[in-house]
């Protein structure tokens, strides 16, 4: 009889223990989704005073799934009205540079609960046909957000397209502009690698990088090659400075974003007047992929697409040396204009 009572007691304790563990796991998941119980903090500063119906940052982060459903077009007008959601013009744009890390930067900034990203490149300002459709068409391409969140889009072609600075200025002369750059020769090779991969997928042949980057007639750097021109950062930036003061630009180190993303993201948070919310918890190194992936909470992780981090083809060292020597004076001027120095050879 005593043995049966003891067995029954153990069974009850086991059931109670299981319930307690299950409740604990639920709470842990809940806390993770609320960003590890960091203090509730509304956005303030340049984005306006807090209103009575303003939603705290942690709640914004918790409702990312809801915003995702609206982005997919699964929301009714009534649902949008009830949740006080709007489609806003961007308050910041990642304008370049191609193969500098624009996608990685956008995805990492999206970790911040006050940031909402446009998932696709809109190509509004660099595409005449799109631009002719007007600003309202552009706004409707933006994701749904809460009024005090900021929307960010990225289209790296903006940086090198002549008409874009004036067009953006006409829309918003005080907009924040982000430029992410890498060592110019590395960026040019990465640019070539992406085009080469596209050709190979279509079973097409393509010239070697050396033949494109060096003019066979003069044996000098071929400045007509687009991958080379794009890496002359100062030439493009000078065109932008005709419309915007340097204070409205923030230069992101794309090479450092790969190896040490957090310090770069913290600098961007400061530039955008956002409260610091992105932490080391949100970034973890994936040894298989060879770069950092994103952790939104205890449940949801995300790595960039497999096309990121392509292996570059081998390039003749003499060509690399020639390119670095060519870019050097432009780099020095870029440092002088931006006030940021990079360890580029």
Backbone region of residue 96 per phi and psi (left: phi > 0; alpha: psi in -120 to 50; beta: other values): left
Q: Annotation-wise, does 103 bind a ligand?
A: yes
- Answer yes or no: 117 catalytic: no
96 has which bridge partners? Answer: 179
Q: Annotation-wise, does 148 bind a ligand?
A: no
Q: Annotation-wise, does 312 bind a ligand?
A: yes
Q: Which of 91, 99, 117, 154 is catalytic?
A: 99
Q: For the purposes of burial, counting CB atoms within 10 Å of the CB of 156, is it exposed (0-12), middle (13-18) or buried (19 or more)?
A: buried
Q: For the purposes of burial, counting CB atoms within 10 Å of the CB of 134, is it exposed (0-12), middle (13-18) or buried (19 or more)?
A: exposed
What distance in Å separates the CA atoms of residue 172 and residue 185, rounded to the nearest whole number? 33
What distance in Å separates the CA atoms of residue 289 and residue 304, rounded to the nearest whole number? 9
Q: Annotation-wise, does 309 bind a ligand?
A: yes
What distance in Å separates the CA atoms of residue 12 and residue 142, rounded to the nearest whole number? 55
Measured CA angle at 136 (ends 134, 139), to 5 deg: 115
What distance in Å separates the CA atoms of residue 319 and residue 210, rounded to the nearest whole number? 7
What distance in Å separates the CA atoms of residue 229 and residue 160, rounded to the nearest whole number? 9
Q: Annotation-wise, does 190 bind a ligand?
A: yes
Measured CA angle at 120 (ends 271, 98), to 5 deg: 65
Q: Annotation-wise, does 198 bind a ligand?
A: no
Q: Annotation-wise, does 146 bind a ligand?
A: no
Q: Annotation-wise, does 22 bind a ligand?
A: no
Binding-site members for 3'-phosphoadenylyl sulfate are 99-103, 182, 190, 292, 308-312
Binding-site members are 99-103, 182, 190, 292, 308-312
Residues labelled catalytic: 99
């Amino acid at each position: 009889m005593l043995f049966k009572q003891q067995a029954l007691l153990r069974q009850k304790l086991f059931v109670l223990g299981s319930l307690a563990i299950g409740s604990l796991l639920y709470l842990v998941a809940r806390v993770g989704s609320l960003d590890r119980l960091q203090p509730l903090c509304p956005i303030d500063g340049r984005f306006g005073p807090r209103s009575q119906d303003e939603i705290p940052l942690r709640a914004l982060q918790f409702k990312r799934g809801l915003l995702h459903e609206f982005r997919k077009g699964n929301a009714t007008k009534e649902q949008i009205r009830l949740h006080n959601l709007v489609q806003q013009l961007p308050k910041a744009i990642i304008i370049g540079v191609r193969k500098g890390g624009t996608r990685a930067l956008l995805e990492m900034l999206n970790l911040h609960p006050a940031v909402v990203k446009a998932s696709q490149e809109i190509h509004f300002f660099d595409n005449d046909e799109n631009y002719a459709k007007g600003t309202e068409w552009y706004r409707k391409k933006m994701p749904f957000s809460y009024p005090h969140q900021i929307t960010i889009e990225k289209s790296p072609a903006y940086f090198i397209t002549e008409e874009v600075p004036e067009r953006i200025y006409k829309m918003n002369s005080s907009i924040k502009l982000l430029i992410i750059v890498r060592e110019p020769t590395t960026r040019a090779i990465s640019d070539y690698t992406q085009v080469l991969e596209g050709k190979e997928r279509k079973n097409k042949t393509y010239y070697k990088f050396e033949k494109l980057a060096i003019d066979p007639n003069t044996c000098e750097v071929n400045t007509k090659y687009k991958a080379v021109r794009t890496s002359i950062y100062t030439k493009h930036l000078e065109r932008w400075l005709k419309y915007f003061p340097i204070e409205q630009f923030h230069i992101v180190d794309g090479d450092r974003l790969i190896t040490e993303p957090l310090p770069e993201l913290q600098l961007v948070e400061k530039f955008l007047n956002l409260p610091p919310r992105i932490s080391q918890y949100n970034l973890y190194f994936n040894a298989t992929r060879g770069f950092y992936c994103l952790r939104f909470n205890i449940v949801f992780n995300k790595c960039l697409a497999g096309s990121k981090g392509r292996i570059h083809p081998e390039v003749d060292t003499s060509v690399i040396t020639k390119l670095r020597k060519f870019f050097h004076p432009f780099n020095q001027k870029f440092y002088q204009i931006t006030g940021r120095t990079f360890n580029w050879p």
